[in-house]
């Protein structure tokens, strides 16, 4: 094997691919070959670096130079200047917007400074299509240790001690979920990975699967060992073709090396994983709906209990965990529960990945320790609001969450503190809004989403969300009266209290929280209050009409 002196790492996450990173790679390879450097310089396709706003990202190692917004025609300069002459291509370096300084190295960039990467540890570092690169980073060592040195109870104990909680939204302790499933007496059990990421604007699960698929496969095998399942299922959105293809490659490679299949590491533990595709239904992120969908049925939720841990896939005990939850498992096994529990707050341990999007300078994927404040995420990591606009609110938890305003920015975030503020952790979507956004329109946008996605199983979900949306429509059309606002409030709490599953129980949250914090924006559509940013349709002409 020829000795490679330099690696050119190019991001091939969905965001960068959409920005022609494939062409960048092709040009780099062609030019390298033409200049005769193809032997000593290698182009590596990596997973997501997280800094999607500045994509496509190209990183040169070991020089540790980070180029941003690289277009296919920049490939020539990267090779001729950087690789051959050893001169940095200044115009491709990241410029810090506040100080207007050019920054060379990834770790000096404010976007990365406050981040702590556990679940995303390999994303942007390794080639996701090569299992050897994962193994070189310590991959599958945890599975080896678990199957050969640890009992099933020890594994569960370790995960319990770490304090890891479900990253899909609910925040249920993962170790406890494993323990409950293990205790069920059954010859057949299943472990399912929930990769049905439906929150619009959240893309952490996709990035993990695209950038580091083996970390999920390995953790599923560990979970399977712990609960006593020999079969795993990954339920993934059909809208994620790249993640599906990388998972298929990863599964094939793991089977070839005997890391999945019969008698793993020479023990009598056997485990294999199947892929099941979703078909576009947000409710399938709810675990009982997901199991129904895995069985090829309409993805409607069931009443609980029985919980999936008791009666799940085809009636067998089933444990459902989220992608990001799984991505935290191997570090916990390798570095110990104490290390993991040393990060975060009292009740929420470890780190959390957030997808920063909306009116923010640095759109991208960030992983931060629990307990960091929203201000740090939005202004230090996210670089603040573009075009000199003023921050208005941030929506966490997607359509199930609520808005957090300026006054909540300094609360350390964890599962509990977000709930207290009327929002929730959710899967980690974070949409930033500036002074131009009308909050009633935002609430209407979310309700239109949940109304479309409500599965129809329960009446509050099917009809209630529709009526809420209709009232919001009436308000933004400028035709609502105060009585409609009262009805809206009442209806919102009713749907919240009486819906069958999490989807519709949380669906009114955007309405409830915007009514709480931005009541005057609702009023602006109705009463003649002087609100600077409202889009109220109220005019002197229709005053009589509204009053009557």
Partner 1 sequence: MEILLKDNVAKDGEYMTEPQAISVTAPAAEDLPKEKFDELEAFIDSMETTKGALIAILHKAQDIFGYLPRDVQLYIARKLGIPGAEVFGVVSFYSYFTTKPGGKHTLSVCMGTACFVRGADKVIERLKEKLNVESNETTEDGLFTLKDVRCIGACGLAPVVMVDDKVYGRVREEDVDDIIREYRSQEGQQ
Site residues for partner 1, window 235-294 (CB under 8 A)? 238-240, 276-282, 293-294
In sequence order, what are the beta bridge partners of 369? Answer: 351
Decide if residue 495 touches partner 1 (CB under 8 A). no
User: Whose Cβ is closer to partner 1: residue 33's or residue 298's?
Assistant: 298
Site residues for partner 1, window 387-446 (CB under 8 A)? 395, 398, 429, 431, 433, 437, 442, 445-446
Query: Phi and psi dihedrals of 42, rounded to 5?
Result: -120, 135
What token pair was written down for 271? 């485990």
Decide if residue 459 touches partner 1 (CB under 8 A). no
Site residues for partner 1, window 7-36 (CB under 8 A)? 14-15, 18-19
Angle at which helices 241-256 and 213-227 pack, to 10 degrees?
60
Decide if residue 88 touches partner 1 (CB under 8 A). no
Decide if residue 371 touches partner 1 (CB under 8 A). no
- Stretch of 48-56, 100-108, 148-156, 315-323 contacting partner 1, by CB under 8 A: 48-56
Residue with tokens 């209407």: 444
- Stretch of 373-381, 450-458, 501-509, 536-544 contacting partner 1, by CB under 8 A: 450-458
Q: How remote is the C-alpha of 408 from its chain's centroid? A: 22
Residue 96 DSSP label: E
Minimal CA–CA distance to 199: which of 420, 467, 455, 396? Answer: 396
How many C-beta atoms surround the C-beta of residue 432 within 10 A?
24
**Calpha distance 76→70 (Å, rounded):** 11
What token pair was written down for 505? 């129980």
- Stretch of 359-367, 374-382, 500-508, 526-534 contacting partner 1, by CB under 8 A: 359-367
- Stretch of 110-118, 170-178, 195-203, 513-521 contacting partner 1, by CB under 8 A: 195-203
- Stretch of 36-44, 377-385, 466-474, 515-523 contacting partner 1, by CB under 8 A: 466-474
213 Cβ neighbours under 8 A, 6+ residues apart: 128, 243, 246, 247, 249, 250
Decide if residue 464 touches partner 1 (CB under 8 A). no
The least distance separating partner 1 from the CB of residue 523, rounded to whole angstroms, comes to: 20
The least distance separating partner 1 from the CB of residue 10, rounded to whole angstroms, comes to: 16
User: Whose Cβ is closer to partner 1: residue 410's or residue 477's?
Assistant: 477
What token pair was written down for 342? 């040393």
User: Whose Cβ is closer to partner 1: residue 358's or residue 369's?
Assistant: 358
- Stretch of 29-37, 52-60, 183-191, 496-504 contacting partner 1, by CB under 8 A: 52-60
Decide if residue 208 touches partner 1 (CB under 8 A). no
- Classify 83 as helix, strand or coil: helix
- Continuous segment of H or E residues that includes residue 118: none
**Calpha distance 461→499 (Å, rounded):** 6
Decide if residue 466 touches partner 1 (CB under 8 A). yes
The least distance separating partner 1 from the CB of residue 134, rounded to whole angstroms, comes to: 23
**Calpha distance 146→330 (Å, rounded):** 10
Residues in the chain: 548
Listed in sequence order, the DSSP H helices in 123-237 are 131-136, 141-149, 152-162, 174-183, 204-211, 213-227
**Calpha distance 200→406 (Å, rounded):** 23
102 and 94 Cβ atoms separated by less than 8 Å? yes
Among 63, 376, 448, 520, indicate the residue that binds partner 1 (CB under 8 A). 448
- Stretch of 30-38, 131-139, 160-168, 295-303 contacting partner 1, by CB under 8 A: 295-303
The least distance separating partner 1 from the CB of residue 142, rounded to whole angstroms, comes to: 28
Residues that bind partner 1 (CB under 8 A): 14-15, 18-19, 52-55, 198-203, 206, 238-240, 276-282, 293-300, 314, 355, 357-359, 363-364, 395, 398, 429, 431, 433, 437, 442, 445-446, 448, 451-452, 455, 466, 470-471, 473-474, 477, 479
């Amino acid at each position: 094997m020829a000795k490679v002196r330099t690696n050119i790492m190019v991001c091939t996450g969905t965001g960068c691919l959409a920005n022609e990173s494939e062409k960048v790679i092709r040009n780099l390879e062609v030019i390298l070959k033409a200049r005769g450097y193809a032997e000593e310089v290698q182009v590596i396709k990596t997973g997501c670096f997280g800094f999607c706003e500045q994509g496509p990202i190209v990183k040169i190692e070991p020089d540790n130079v980070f180029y941003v917004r690289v277009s296919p025609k920049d490939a020539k300069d990267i090779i001729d200047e950087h690789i051959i002459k050893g001169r940095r291509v200044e115009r491709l370096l990241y410029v810090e917007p506040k100080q207007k300084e050019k920054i060379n190295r990834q770790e000096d960039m404010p976007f990365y400074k406050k981040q702590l990467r556990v679940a995303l540890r390999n994303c942007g570092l390794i080639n996701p299509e090569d299992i050897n690169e994962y193994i070189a980073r310590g991959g599958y060592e945890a599975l080896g240790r678990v199957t050969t040195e640890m009992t099933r109870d020890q594994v569960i104990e370790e995960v319990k001690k770490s304090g890891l909680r479900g990253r899909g939204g609910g925040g249920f302790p993962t170790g406890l979920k494993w323990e409950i499933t293990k205790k069920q007496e059954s010859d057949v059990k299943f472990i399912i990975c929930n990769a049905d990421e439906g929150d619009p604007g959240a893309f952490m699960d996709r990035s993990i699967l695209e950038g580091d698929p083996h970390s999920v496969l390995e953790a599923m095998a560990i979970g399977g060992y712990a609960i006593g399942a020999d079969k795993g299922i990954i339920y993934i959105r059909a809208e994620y073709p790249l993640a599906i293809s990388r998972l298929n490659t990863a599964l094939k490679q793991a089977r070839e090396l005997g890391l999945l299949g019969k008698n793993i590491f020479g023990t009598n533990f056997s485990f294999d994983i199947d892929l099941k595709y979703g078909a576009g239904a947000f409710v399938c992120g709810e675990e009982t709906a997901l199991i129904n969908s895995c069985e090829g049925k309409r993805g409607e939720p069931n009443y609980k209990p029985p919980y999936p841990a008791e009666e799940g896939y085809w009636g067998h005990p089933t444990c459902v965990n989220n992608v990001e939850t799984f991505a935290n498992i191997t570090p916990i096994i390798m570095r110990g529960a104490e290390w993991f529990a040393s990060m975060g707050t009292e009740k929420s341990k470890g780190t959390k990945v957030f997808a920063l999007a909306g009116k923010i300078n640095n759109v991208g994927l960030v992983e931060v320790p629990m307990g960091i404040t929203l201000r740090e995420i939005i202004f230090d990591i996210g670089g603040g609001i573009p075009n000199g606009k003023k921050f208005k609110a941030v929506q966490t938890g997607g359509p199930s969450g609520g808005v957090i305003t300026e006054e909540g920015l300094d609360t350390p975030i964890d599962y509990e503190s977000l709930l207290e503020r009327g929002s929730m952790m959710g899967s980690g979507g974070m949409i930033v809004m500036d002074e131009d956004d009308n909050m009633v329109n935002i609430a209407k946008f979310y309700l239109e989403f949940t109304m479309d996605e409500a599965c129809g199983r329960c009446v509050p979900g099917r009809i209630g969300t529709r009526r809420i949306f209709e009232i919001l429509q009436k308000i933004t059309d400028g035709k609502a009266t105060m009585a409609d606002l009262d009805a809206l409030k009442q209806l919102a709490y009713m749907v919240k209290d009486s819906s069958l599953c999490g989807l519709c129980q949380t669906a009114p949250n955007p309405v409830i929280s915007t009514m709480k914090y931005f009541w005057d924006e609702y009023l602006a559509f109705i009463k003649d209050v002087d609100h600077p940013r409202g889009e109220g349709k109220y005019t002197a002409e229709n005053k009589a009409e509204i009053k009557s």
